[in-house]
Amino acid sequence: MNRMLIGERTVLGAAVVDRHDIGMVEPSNSLGLSLEARDEGRIGAQLGPQQLQRDASGQPRMPREVDDAHAASTEFALDDETGEDLAREERHMRHSASRRRTRGRVCRRCPASVAAMTQTLEPQQQVLTRVEGRLGHLTLNRPERINALSLSMIRLASAALSAWAEDDGVDVVLIDGAGPRGLCAGGDIREVYEGIRGGNVPPARFWTEEYEMNAVIAHYSKPVVTFMDGIVLGGGVGISAHAGVRVVTERSQVAMPETAIGLSPDVGALYLLARAPGGLGTHCALTGMRLDGPAAVHAGLADHLVLAAELPELAEQLRSGVVPDLPVLPDAPHPVWMDWCYAPEAVEQILSRLRNCPDPAAHTAADTVSGMSPTAVKVTLEAIRRAAGMTVDEVLDQDLRVGSRFLTHPDFAEGIRAMIIDKDRQPRWFPADLAGVSRPEVLAFFEPLD
């Protein structure tokens, strides 16, 4: 991919405030958005500004509305509506094939076909850009899908960032998301899934332009502030965590849960996770563990914790073109068992240590990793180890190589089937176990693209 900018990201410091505990949602509930949100209520829809709650052991936890979000998610937005639409589309495809329908003819028995004809939100409305004083303000505006990124949204955001970089009237950029549920649940699963089936947007093109946008943010010549409020998954991490001033709240849930669907974390996130303290980054990459605000700061995915209710006031202050001093959390340790358990260079050895660790949380992590795609887990471990010695641009290049190889691997399509289409939560990975994934097969994911 093209090297769009050079240099490294710098994180702005600020004043120290009262100590907050690190809160990490353990991997049994670590895989992002619930695919059963219709039963529990829309994730985050009712969450208002509130302090972190604690479980029976005294550990910090998020409110129940988020903690109950226990099914798998990935970089892509796996919200309830998207999953149902994709399932209907799959049923429509099978129905059409069985009746030998003419290509392009609309089947009015299938709600997905009707929905495709009744889109009301124009693509240009899905990213709102405006200059407010000295502030370039970019809002992802697709709240019904937790601001899932489409290729058109990526292009609109990239164009705005490019224009503001050259605009002497803009001194600071702010990226936030519309709606109460979160900044961004990732890339649009419908667009990527249709691209795999031969649609108008090939996934490799989607990822190429997304990663170029991530690189622009990582090396931006002006301060970029991101409000990582609520759900921030996959592509949401890519559009926010490479910025210079990253703000989380008491509602934040930050994760890279790609291994659950047969992929490896991308959008340059492994550049950040490889630099997280001890074994925390590897734990997050392999299990998809969701981090609340304080934990995201500890992991190096964010810088400041601000109450969600105070974000509008902060946005108003940014219009002056100056980033004010923001609270910085004193560091706090993550669970010590992570450092020992994730030190080995082989997934098999990591699992052995997790299972032999006396901490029950390590056993839960072992169960989580064992349920992921064996290929994705092995490739992810190799990728994060390599990322430790790479620049962010080199990691993004690696992401494109690895992701392109997953497009032809059966686990990607199987993960979508199990988690989104059929929703049986029983993916049939191939190979089915770690022993079936050889070292040469893993290394092949990292070979240069033709």
Catalytic residues: 187, 235, 258, 266
For 38, 176, 183, 319, the CA distances from 179, given in Å and listed in that order, are: 18, 10, 8, 21
Give the residue carrying structure tokens 């249709």: 194
For 167, 180, 184, 271, the CA distances from 145, given in Å and listed in that order, are: 31, 11, 8, 27
Residues 6+ apart with CB under 8 A from 277: 298, 299, 300, 333, 334
Longest dimension (CA), the chain: 67
Tokens of 129: 């850009």
How far is residue 90's CA from residue 75's CA, in Å, rounded to a whole number? Answer: 21
For 313, 323, 373, 443, the CA distances from 309, given in Å and listed in that order, are: 8, 18, 39, 47
How far is residue 112's CA from residue 92's CA, in Å, rounded to a whole number? Answer: 8
How far is residue 60's CA from residue 128's CA, in Å, rounded to a whole number? Answer: 35
CB-based contact 291:108 (threshold 8 Å): no
How far is residue 348's CA from residue 444's CA, in Å, rounded to a whole number? Answer: 20
Tokens of 309: 């209710």
How far is residue 68's CA from residue 235's CA, in Å, rounded to a whole number? Answer: 22
How far is residue 394's CA from residue 392's CA, in Å, rounded to a whole number? Answer: 5
- SS3 assignment, position 183: strand
Helix (H) or strand (E) holding 16: none
